[in-house]
Amino acid sequence: MDTVFIELDGVEKVFDVRRRTGFLKRERRQVRAVDSLSFTVPRGEMVGYIGPNGAGKSTTIKMLTGILTPSGGRLRVAGIDPSRERTRLARRIGVVFGQRTTLWWDLPLIDSYKLMHRMYRIPDARYRENLDRCVELLELADLLEVPVRQLSLGQRMRGDIAAALLHDPEVLYLDEPTIGLDVISKAKVREFLRELNTERGTTVLLTTHDLQDIEQLCSRVMVIDHGRLMYDGPLAGLHEVGESERTLVVDLERELPPIDVAPARVVKVEGPRQWLAFPAHESAAALVARVAAEYPLVDLSVREPDIEAVIAKMYAGASGEAQRVVP
Amino acid sequence: MESSRPVGGLRAYGLIAGMWIRSSLAYRASFAMTVLGNLLLSGLDFVAILLMFSQVDALGGYRLPEVALLYGLSVTSFGLTDLMCNSLGQLGQRVRDGTLDTLLVRPAPVLAQAAADRFALRRVARLTQGMLVLGYALVAVDVDWTPLKVLLLPVMLVSGAAIFGAVFVAGAAFQILVQDAAEVQSAFTYGGTTLLQYPPTVFGKELVRGVTFVLPLAFVNWVPAAYVLGRPYPLGLPEWAAFAPPLVAVGCCALAGLAWRVGLRSYRSTGS
């Protein structure tokens, strides 16, 4: 049984960029938005796709959905070449663009769903079932008769996600699904996605700037920068690659010279409070014990590494060479 | 079961146009006012020609009923196209803000979706006014009607609408490449229909030649209407040219379809 659902092999996307350099004078330049990108995603996996702005995330999603035609390489989704058979593929995929809604602004939410029902030719029973499910899990019951323009951003996002799922897509692409949402809306969206993935086995590929999305949802994360895959593996492995450090914050009885306990190093001192950085894979307990044995300790806390910083570190350290951990 | 592309396209068109009509009815008062405003505005358009004829008896050798025939044919066929796919003229907007993406991920032909986009029933105003003027012209004009001439009328309207449609589609394809070309497109569509409201005899030969051989708008009304009115053809075209509009329309649509494919394939979308 072939379980590979998304397959990219040396995919490239080159844009011609014309820049005005003077009156009527233009400079032509080629920009490689995606550069020999190769990866596969098996059916039913939930993958986080992250990277800084302009890294090529959206370009990848647009090639996967057939919106953009790759300049080179081979790309298949469910065995289909997206740019050649975009319309056929459209029935099997769901797309949510976080920044632009596909709902009908001036009409009640339910009208957008009715349009999906007819445009995708969803069998009546199936449509009912899917709609009921989405309405229940995304808490849309009170919103169905409300014109979309009156919905809050979080409500609209939930509405958009439901709209993308009524036709039972095999894969759901989400481009920044939690952007601009409040904490409660984010939690609802995440819970729904987790349930969709585990219950229905829907493959999910999500781009995000919110690393909590990834932490809470994705078993696998891909990091892309300058159109290249920089990392592909579990989230935990990202910390290792990024040489991430945890921070031990200790409050001492009084001001003392910087603590000297290997393998930690003091990164900051503020009166009796000191910040010690130590490798994320080292045990915090052992370190705390040693500090407590040698110094008058009053209070302490351990801070987990900030993944954003980890990625930034990885970017800084990466000299074009992809660091990969194959799961 | 998969239906054929044209059928699927028409179906999607109907669905989307229906949504836009319902959207516009969400603001009933505004809808009523824009319809009224459009009717008045379209009406004033022909008043300008009437005013001209209050000063002169003929324009380029054409009398008022004859000019009214040209006007009616031009505005009716254009009005039909404008009603059906006006939004193609603003496709650049969707390209610029990236919302064309959302049409591309739907299981329906993008051209049909883009044409139905922002469908506005108020545009029937122009069509209505065109038909009214055409009606007046048919009553007032001095023509020995033969079956062939009568048959030519609906053929002209359908072919004319198709020729204008091709201009809209080709223009939309161009706007995918050059997003701020909406004005260029308007020059050809609105400019074209205005040009055709006047007899070819008032324009310079070069312009008439361009409108005949380069962008064949002359086949919307000038050439076939010359046959109906028994007037000399522009540029001394042969007599059969009056029956060429369907062929010209098919040719234009094929070229426009090709341009659309090329345009869509070179779509670049926007960042994120």
Say if residues A176 and A207 touch (Cβ distance below 8 Å).
Answer: yes
Interchain proximity A65–B104, CB inside 8 Å:
yes
pLDDT tens for A237-274 read 877 776 677 888 999 988 888 888 888 888 888 888 99
Asked if residue B25 has pLDDT above 50, the reply is: yes
pLDDT tens for B67-76 read 999 999 999 9
Residues of A in contact with B268 (CB under 8 A): 15, 68
Interchain proximity B15–A104, CB inside 8 Å:
no
ipTM over 0.95 threshold: no
β-partners of residue B63 are B58
Q: Does B271 touch chain A (CB under 8 A)?
A: yes
Q: Which residue of A has its CA nearest to B102?
A: A102
Residue whose pair of structure tokens reads 């492995």 in the numeric block: A237
Q: Does A224 touch chain B (CB under 8 A)?
A: no
Interchain proximity A120–B267, CB inside 8 Å:
no
Residues of A in contact with B108 (CB under 8 A): 87, 119
Distance in angstroms (rounded) separating the CA atoms of residues A77 and A5: 6
User: Max alpha carbon distance in chain B (Å)?
Assistant: 64
Side chain identity, residue B181? A
Say if residues A52 and A27 touch (Cβ distance below 8 Å).
Answer: no
Say if residues B225 and B153 touch (Cβ distance below 8 Å).
Answer: no
DSSP A292-306: HHHS-EEEEEEEPPP
Q: Which residue of A has its CA nearest to B26?
A: A106
pLDDT tens for A210-222 read 778 888 899 899 9
List the one residue out of A320, A315, A319 whose CA is nearest residue A238. A315
Distance in angstroms (rounded) separating the CA atoms of residues B97 and A222: 28
Of A87, A147, A176, which has the smallest distance from its Cβ to B107's Cβ?
A87
Distance in angstroms (rounded) separating the CA atoms of residues A8 and A17: 25
Q: Is the dihedral of CA A207, A211, A212, A215 positive or negative?
A: positive
DSSP A5-56: EEEEEEEEEEEEEEEEEETTEEEEEEEEEEEEEEEEEETT-EEEEE-STTSS
Q: Does B108 touch chain A (CB under 8 A)?
A: yes
> What's A323's DSSP letter?
P
Q: B194 CA to chain A: closest CA distance, Å?
A: 32
pLDDT tens for B149-203 read 999 999 999 999 999 999 999 999 999 988 888 888 999 999 999 999 999 999 9
For residue B247, give both structure tokens.
């062929």
Is the pTM of the predicted complex or chain greater than 0.95?
A: no
Distance in angstroms (rounded) separating the CA atoms of residues B169 and B162: 10
Q: Does B26 touch chain A (CB under 8 A)?
A: yes
Distance in angstroms (rounded) separating the CA atoms of residues A12 and A216: 31
Residue whose pair of structure tokens reads 């023509």 in the numeric block: B143
Distance in angstroms (rounded) separating the CA atoms of residues A118 and B11: 10
